[in-house]
Amino acid sequence: MKIDRITLRRVQAPLKAPFETSFIRMEKKDCAIVSVHGDGATGYGESTAFSAPYYNEETTDTIWYMLEQYLVPALAGREVAHPDEISALFAPIRRHHMAIATIETAVWDLYAKREGVSLSQALGGTKQELDVGVSIGIEPTVEAVVRNVERFVEQGYKRIKVKIKPGFDIRLVDAIRRKFGDSLPLMVDANSAYTLADVPLLKALDPYNLMMIEQPLAHDDIVDHAALQRELRTPICLDESIHTLADARHAIELGSCRIINIKLGRVGGFTNAKKIHDLCMERGIPVWCGGMLELGIGRLHNVALSSLSNFTIPGDVSASSRFWERDVVVPEVDLIRPGVLAVPTGSGIGHEVCERTLDEWTVAKLTRDA
Ligand code: OSB
Ligand code: MG
> What is 122-342's CATH number, 3.50.50.100, 3.10.20.90, 3.20.20.120, 3.40.1280.10?
3.20.20.120
CA-nearest residue, atom 8 of ligand 1: 292
pLDDT at position 40, please? 96
CATH 3.20.20.120 range(s) for the chain read: 122-342
Burial class (CB in 10 A: 0-12, 13-18, 19+), 89: middle
CA-nearest residue, atom 5 of ligand 1: 292
DSSP string, 271-340: HHHHHHHHHHHHTT--EEE---S--HHHHHHHHHHHTSTT--S--S---GGGT-SS-SEESPP-EEETTE
- Is 135's C-beta closer than 6 angstroms to any atom of ligand 1? yes
DSSP state of 198: G
How far lies 290's CA from each of 31, 237, 260, 268, 369, in Å? 17, 11, 9, 14, 34
Query: Could you give the angle at which helices 245-254 and 223-231 cross, rounded to 10 degrees?
Result: 40
Q: Is the entire prediction scored with pTM above 0.75?
A: yes
CATH of segment(s) 5-116+354-369 = 3.30.390.10
Q: What is the pLDDT along the chain (370 residues), one digit of tens a residue?
A: 999 999 999 999 999 999 999 889 999 999 999 999 999 999 999 999 999 999 999 999 999 999 999 999 999 999 999 999 999 999 999 999 999 999 999 999 999 999 999 999 999 999 999 999 999 999 999 999 999 999 999 999 999 999 999 999 999 999 999 999 999 999 999 999 999 999 999 999 999 999 999 999 999 999 999 999 999 999 999 999 999 999 999 999 999 999 999 999 999 999 999 999 999 999 999 999 999 999 999 999 999 999 999 999 999 999 999 999 999 999 999 999 999 999 999 999 999 999 999 999 999 999 999 8
pLDDT at position 370, please? 86
Query: Could you give the angle at which helices 296-306 and 97-115 cross, rounded to 10 degrees?
Result: 70
CATH 3.30.390.10 range(s) for the chain read: 5-116+354-369
Report whether the peptide linkage leading into residue 314 is cis, meaning its omega lies within 30 degrees of zero: no
Sign of the torsion formed by the C-alpha atoms of 258, 311, 34 and 71: positive
| Residue of 158, 213, 217, 292 to test ligand 1 pocket, by largest number of atoms within 8 Å of CB | 292
